[in-house]
Amino acid sequence: MSDQIERIDLVCEVNNTDHHTLQNSVDRLIVRRGQPFTITLHLRPGTHFQNGDNINFIAQTGPMPSVVAQTKAKFSLSRFISRSSWSATAETSDSTVSLTVCSHPNAPIGVYKLILDQGERIGLGEFVLLFNPWCKQDSVYLASEAEMEEYVLSQDGLIYRGIPKRITVLPWTFGQFEPGILDICLQILDESPNYISDAALDCSERRNPVYVTRVLSAMINSLDDKGVLVGNWSDDHEDGVKPTVWKDSCSILQQWSNDGCRAVRYGQCWVFAAVACTVSRALGIPCRVVTNYGSARDSNGDLVMERFYNEFDENIANDSIWNFHVWVENWMTRPDLALGYEGWQASDPTPQRRSEGVFCCGPAPVRAIKEGELTFKYDIPFVYAEVNADVVEYIKLRDGRVFKMGGSTTEVGKSISTKAVGRDEREDITHNYKYPEGSEEERRVYEKANHHNKLAQAGEEPGFHIKIKVTPDMQIGSDFDVYAELKNNTMVTKSCRVMFYAQAVSYNGKLGETCGLGNCLIVSYVSGSKVTLRLEYAEYSKAINQDRMIKLVALLIDAETRDFYRAKKTIILDGPEIIILGVPKVGQNLVADLALQNPLPEPLENCVFTIHGANLTDGKPITHEVGTVGPKEFVTAKVQFTPKLPGQRKILIDFASDKLHNVETYENLVIYE
C-alpha cells in the first residue's frame, strides 16, 4: 500500500475548524474526542485502493501503548462511523481516498499516531486529541453554546479581588490558543510525578477529566514536583516577579517551559487559578475562575474558625481568614459519585494543604459543598470550610483563663464571584455553594456537616467598638501619645476596663518586648471616651529593632458580661531626614554634601554615611565615618565620587549608627559626556 500513496493530507484547516481548534493552528491536526475528522490519501497515478476487510488502523498514544490501558486502539473500516468507539470509513475516487476517523468519546487525551495496517504499517500522521465539550458522550459535555464560547474558547476574562464592599476587577489574558501553549500544557502532564513514576498508567488515566484536573491542581504549584509557579506571600520578591505584575498566563507558561521546567517566581492565589484556567481550557475542559470573599483556612478540619489571641493580639491558633481567595471550577460528570453531583467542580491549585499526600485540592463537586456531603471526593471538608465555617474568637490570658470575645456565622463565604457568560459583568454564585444564611436548608446542611457550633444570633454587630488613633508626629527619639477611642452603640450605660499595650514588632509580625502598658477602669460611659497611652523614648528605644515598628493593641472588657472587644494598629516611627546640601555639579569629581540631625536625646556612636550608585561609585559603596553625634546635633559630611558613564543615575545615601539604622534617601543626577 505504501507504494500506492503519493501524499497524505491531514486537512488541518477543515478539521480544526470543525473541532473548534482553528485558533490553535492550521499547520497541525488538533481534534476533539468522539467527533469525526477526515484524512485524504492522494494515490499515485494508475493505482487503486482496495476497500476491504484487510484495511486496519491503529491509533496510539503515550510511550507504552496498550489496548488494555486504552492508550492503543485497533479498528477496521466499517460502513458507518460509530460515535461510541474508534471507527473509520472510506470513500474512494480515481486518485484519492477520503478516510473519516472517529475516536472513542472516552479516549485518553494526548498526542496520537495514526497507523494504516495492511500487513505492512504506514504512518498516516500525528494528531492531538482533546476533551470535547461539544460531544454528548464526552464527560465534559456542555449543552450551552454561549457557555462553551465563554468557558472553553474565550482567551481572556476578568478576575475579582478586593473586599465585598469594594470588589476590584483584574483583566486577564488566558491565551490558551497562543502558539506553543497547547504543547506546554501537555508538557505539564508529562512532568507530573504520576507520569514519571508510571507513564503507562498516567496516560491511560488521561481519559478522565477528574484525574487530569487533579494533576493540574498539583502541577500549577511547585510544591512536591516540577510545577509551574512558586507561591510567595511575603513582601520580598527581589529574585522573581511580584504576583501583582502578571497580567497573562502565557508568559508564565512560556518561562516555565523555556527554563527547563524550573518553577516561575512568584504567584499568589489568583495567578495560580488563572494559569489553571488556561491549561484546562487548552485541554478542552470547561473552566472558570471563582473568587470567594472571607475565605476561611480551616487547619484542623472542625469547620469552625477558632481564633485564639493572647493579651498582645498575638494569634496563637493556626486558623486564618483571607480577605479573598481565588480558585477555579471545571465542568464534568462524576461517574465515581452518586447522580446529581456532576457539573461544576471546585479545584484549587494554590498550595494550602496536602490532599492524599500532595499539595492539591479538588475536584470537589460544588453541589456536594452546598449539601454538606463531606465524605465525597475530593477535599470537600476543606472547601466547605472556606465558604461556610463559623468564626469564634477567644482571648487566653496569662493565668490560663480563656474568654470568648465574639464571633460570626456570616463572616466567611461572601459574594462568591465569577465573570458572567458573554458579558463583562460579575455573576454572584454564592447560592451554588451555600443556602441562604439562617434558612431551614442551611440548618439541615450544617447538621449533616457535623457543624453544631453556630452562634445563637447570626450576624449581630457587637454593641461595643474600640478604635486606635495616632498623631502624625511620631518620630524616633520623641515622646508621643496614642489613643484608644471607645464607642457604645447600645445606648445603655456600661462599665468597662480598657487594657492598652504597645509592643515592638518586626516586619514579619514577630513580637518583641513591651514598650508601653496601661490599664483603665471606666465606669458608666455611653460613648466617646478616650484612653491615652504615652510612648516614651526611654522605654521604646530598648524594645524596637531597625524596622522601627510598634504594634498597639487595645482590649475593651465589659465589666458585667466579661465580653472582650479588640483593636490593633501597627505604627512605623519616622526616621530623621538626610538633607543633600546643594546640587552636585557636572565634572570629573563630584561631591555630595550631606546633613542629618540626631533626633534622639542621647548621643549616636559609630556614625557612618554610605553612598552608592551604578556607574557612580565604581561598583562598590563609598563610606564616610563621622564618629559621635551628640543629642539633637547636626552632622555634616562631604563624600566625593567619580561618575564613569553619562546618563541619568540615582545616587543612594544611607546613614547608620549604634542606635539608628536604615535611614535612607536618594538623588537623581544627570551625568553628561
Question: Would you say residue 452 has pLDDT above 50?
Answer: no
388 marked as binding residue? yes
Return the top range by mean pLDDT from 28-42, 297-311, 622-636: 28-42
Q: Is residue 198 a known part of a binding site?
A: no
pLDDT at residue 454 greater than cutoff 60:
no
Given this model, what pLDDT does residue 565 score? 83
**Would the pLDDT of 411 be above 90?**
no
Nearest to 445 by CA among 405, 418, 413: 413
Instruction: Look at 27-31, 106-110, 158-162 and tell me which has the smallest mean pLDDT.
Output: 158-162
Query: Which is more confident, 556 or 342?
Result: 342
The DSSP letter of residue 475 is B
Average pLDDT over residues 97-118: 96
Q: What is the pTM of this model?
A: 0.67
Query: Is 427 one of the annotated binding-site residues?
Result: no
| Each residue's pLDDT tens digit, 471-507 | 887 888 888 999 888 877 655 677 888 888 898 887 6
Q: Tell me which range, 37-41, 382-386, 491-495, 527-531, is most confidently predicted by mean pLDDT.
A: 37-41
Q: Which residues are catalytic?
A: 269, 325, 348
Nearest to 556 by CA among 463, 452, 477: 463
**Most confident option among 96-110, 363-377, 462-476, 597-611:** 96-110
Q: Evaluate if residue 458 carries a pLDDT over 50.
A: no
Looking at beta carbons, which pairs linking 647-651 to residues 24 or more positions away fall under 8 Å? Answer: 647/615, 647/671, 649/613, 649/614, 649/615, 649/616, 650/613, 650/614, 651/592, 651/611, 651/612, 651/613, 651/616, 651/617
Q: Please give the residue that has the higher pLDDT: either 361 or 49.
A: 361
**Rounded (10°) angle between helices 181-190 and 269-283:** 100
Burial of 229 (0-12, 13-18, 19+ CB in 10 A): buried
Residue 180 exposure: Cα atoms within 13 Å on the Cβ side: 10
Q: How far is CA 556 from CA 117, 408, 494, 521, 563, in A?
A: 83, 18, 12, 10, 8
Q: Is 437 annotated as a binding residue?
A: yes
The span from the CA of 373 to the CA of 367, in Å, is 9
Neighbours of 196 (CB within 10 A): 12
Secondary structure (H, E, C), 643-662: CCCCEEEEEEEEEECCCCCC
Nearest-CA neighbor of 61 among 176, 205, 191? 205
Instruction: With beta carbons less than 8 A apart as the criterion, state whether 441 and 431 touch.
Output: no
CA distance 255 to 275: 13
Model confidence at 573, pLDDT cuts 50, 70, 90, reads confident
Does residue 515 carry a pLDDT above 90? Answer: no
Q: Is the pLDDT of residue 303 over 60?
A: yes
Between the alpha carbon of residue 655 and those of residues 197, 433, 492, 668, the distances in Å are 56, 55, 55, 18
pLDDT of residue 440: 79
Q: What is the mean pLDDT of residues 588-608?
A: 88
Domains, the chain, ordered by start: 5-130 (2.60.40.10), 145-449 (3.90.260.10), 464-572 (2.60.40.10), 578-671 (2.60.40.10)
pLDDT at 431: 94
Residues in a beta bridge with 567: 554
pLDDT number for residue 450: 47
Question: Could you give the CA distance from residue 636 to residue 579 in angstroms, rounded to a whole number?
Answer: 9
Question: Of all helices (H) and strands (E), which one includes residue 87?
Answer: strand 87-92
Which of 150-164, 268-282, 337-351, 466-480 is the least confident region?
Answer: 466-480
- Please write the tens of the pLDDT for every residue from 246-279: 999 999 999 999 999 999 999 999 999 999 999 9
